[in-house]
Amino acid sequence: MTLANFEQLARSLGRAGAIPERPVVCVQGLGFVGFAMAIAVARARDERGEPCFNTIGVELPTPEGEAKLMAMNAGRMPLANSDERLHEALAEAHRAGNLIATTDPAAYGLASVTAVDIHLDVVSDGGRPTVDFGGLRAAIRTLGEHMPPGSLVVVETTMPPGTCEKVVAPLLEETLEGRGLPRDAIQLAHAYERVMPGSGYLDSIVNFWRVYAGHTPEAADMCEAFLSKIIDVEQYPLTRLASTTASETGKVLENSYRATNIAFIEEWGRFAEAVGIDMFEILNAIRVRPTHNNIRQPGFGVGGYCLTKDPLLAAIGARELFDRGDLEFPFSHRAVQVNQVMPLVSLDQIQGLLGGDLEDKRILLLGVSYRPDVGDTRYSPSETFVKEARDRGAVVHCHDPLIAEWPELEMQLPGETPKAEGFDAVVFAVPHQVYLQLDLGSWLGDARPLIFDANDVLTRPRRRQLRQLGCRVACIGRGKDCE
């Protein structure tokens, strides 16, 4: 159907009351980036304190998509997170009535801007990484079929460099021609997100630097005007690049650098464990030097939707979009390989500490999300750990304070942190606040399992306390004699 205005759509979704006319922004895709972006857009205020936009989150009509929009339309978080400011912003948008969610693509017909926040997965083609552009093509075609002339598409999705130029722009132009509109009736820009789920979720959008580029100068100007209403650009200035390919490369390079930094430190963690030194202590000393303050640290593993795949995107773009298969990215590819097996380092050490055999050993894994204080299990290193531990005969129980159901492993998780009793080993995998504040004496009771800190979860005093209570304590990145 054709929608007359935002209020009509809101009323069709059960929202009552008059809603002032404002520019409409749609957010395509309500995943871990999209839903937070929609809240950030709805939060934007003008000099009078009034909302700048009426905001519509648009999802596919799947069971998962329907669940997200039902939550958002009720003023509830569609995905678990610990950021109180994000919760407050959603509550305020719900009260103001300027944020709704729908599966109706006709909503794009109201949009002056649509932010594209959909997945673009890396898949294997005969053992070689590639991307499936099918979902992206369908999404862009939908925008081209519905968005009005004079509007702007801002792609925030991380993509192989060249995707906007070689895939998105031609498809958008083709779709507009099919409507009898000029090929430039809808402008196109790329502005990659730097969303960081966790306690600073909202700030990672509204109080953080952003990079952008337009397919045309007009598109770049429109994108700058849009972002400047959402972001505190006085404190966090925008950076305009010369092309969308440059912007796409910026995001891929950022994440490739971080992934390679993590992989590099892995070998130093093994050295520290072997010779009996504390790599975390050493890294903190190194970070005092400003040129080295972002050096990473040993840990349980790399997970999430970005670092596990983004280092592969440059090679894919070079080969498939620019016909430059001669360009190789050995460091980026090797970083992905190293990071994929990081959880097995912890498992191997635990197996050795338990006598060299995991058959029928009971292991409690504390933390299954890929980072602290966010309920995201995509590509979690805990998944690799659990699968391999089970293959070796172990019985693994899991807990995460933000996860009730682990979809990848079809596991229901307990609400409360399990007691240590009955386990041969307890693995602290994610530094959730719940684990940082755990009353160790009460939690242990009479149990004395092996305690394995895989991710710098336990402070030195807490490790000392556990040893004084009679537990063996071992750590990733620390020699056995380190306190």
Tell me, yes or no, whether 141 and 200 share the same domain.
yes
Q: In CATH, what number is assigned to the domain containing residue 303?
A: 3.40.50.720
- On whether both 292 and 197 belong to a single domain, the answer is no
Rounded to 5 degrees, φ, ψ at 394 are -80, 155
Residue 138: inside a domain = yes
Q: Are strands 362-366 and 239-240 parallel, antiparallel or unpaired?
A: unpaired
Segment 288-324, tens digit of pLDDT = 999 999 999 999 999 988 989 999 999 999 999 999 9
With respect to residue 263, please indicate whether it lies within any of the assigned structural domains: no
**How high is the pLDDT of residue 101?**
97
Residue 282: which domain range?
275-475
Tell me which of 244, 260, 284 is where a domain ends: 244
Structure tokens of 436?
Answer: 């940082």
With 90 as the cut, is the pLDDT of residue 1 above it? no
In this structure, what are the phi and psi dihedrals at residue 19, rounded to the nearest 5 degrees? Answer: -125, 120
- Of the residues 193, 223, 244, the one at which a domain ends: 244
Q: How far is CA 483 from CA 145, 250, 432, in A?
A: 63, 41, 22
189 φ, ψ (degrees, to nearest 5) = -140, 160
Q: What is the pLDDT of residue 291?
A: 96
pLDDT digits (tens, 9 = 90+) for 328-373: 999 999 999 999 999 999 999 999 999 999 999 999 999 999 999 8
For residue 16, pLDDT beyond 80: no
Please enumerate, as own/partner, the contacts of 180-187 that have beta carbons within 8 Å and a separation of 24 or more: 181/149, 182/149, 184/216, 185/149, 185/150, 186/143, 186/144, 186/147, 186/149, 186/150, 186/151, 186/152, 186/153, 187/151, 187/152, 187/153, 187/214, 187/215, 187/216, 187/218, 187/219, 187/222
* Claim to verify: residue 174 and residue 42 sit in the same structural domain: yes
State yes or no: pLDDT of 195 exceeds 90: yes
Assigned domain for 265 exists: no
> Are residues 363 and 468 both part of a single domain?
yes
Q: Are residues 235 and 369 in the same domain?
A: no
Shared-domain flag, residues 234 and 279: no
- Residue 300, domain member (yes or no): yes
Does the structure show a pLDDT above 70 at 483?
no
Same domain, 235 and 283: no
- Residue 258 falls inside a structural domain: no
Give tens-digit pLDDT for 418-453: 999 999 999 999 999 999 999 999 999 999 999 999
* Residues 18-32: tens digit of each pLDDT: 789 999 999 999 999
Residue 137 lies in a domain: yes
Give the integer Cα–Cα distance in Å for 32 and 190.
18
What is the SS3 assignment for 76?
A: coil
Q: Does residue 186 share a domain with residue 80?
A: yes
Query: Do 327 and 403 lie in a common domain?
Result: yes
* 259 located within any domain: no
Tokens in use for 124? Answer: 């294997």
Question: Does the residue 255 lie in any domain?
Answer: no
Where among 221, 244, 267 does a domain terminate? 244
65 and 153 in a single domain? The answer is yes
For residue 126, the model assigns a pLDDT of: 87
How many domains does the structure of the chain reveal?
2
CA–CA gap between residue 359 and residue 361 (Å, rounded): 5
Distance CA(120)–CA(320), nearest Å, equals 15
Quick one: 24 and 76 in the same domain? Answer: yes
214 and 299 inside one domain = no
Alpha-carbon gap, residue 477 to 479, rounded angstroms: 7
Average pLDDT, the chain: 95
Q: Which among 354, 429, 424 has a CA at the least distance from the CA of 384?
A: 429
CB contact at 8 A, 65 and 112:
no
CA distances from 88 to 25, 30, 56, 93, 418 (A): 20, 18, 18, 9, 31
Scan for tokens 């002032």, then name that residue: 20
Average pLDDT value for residue range 118-124: 92
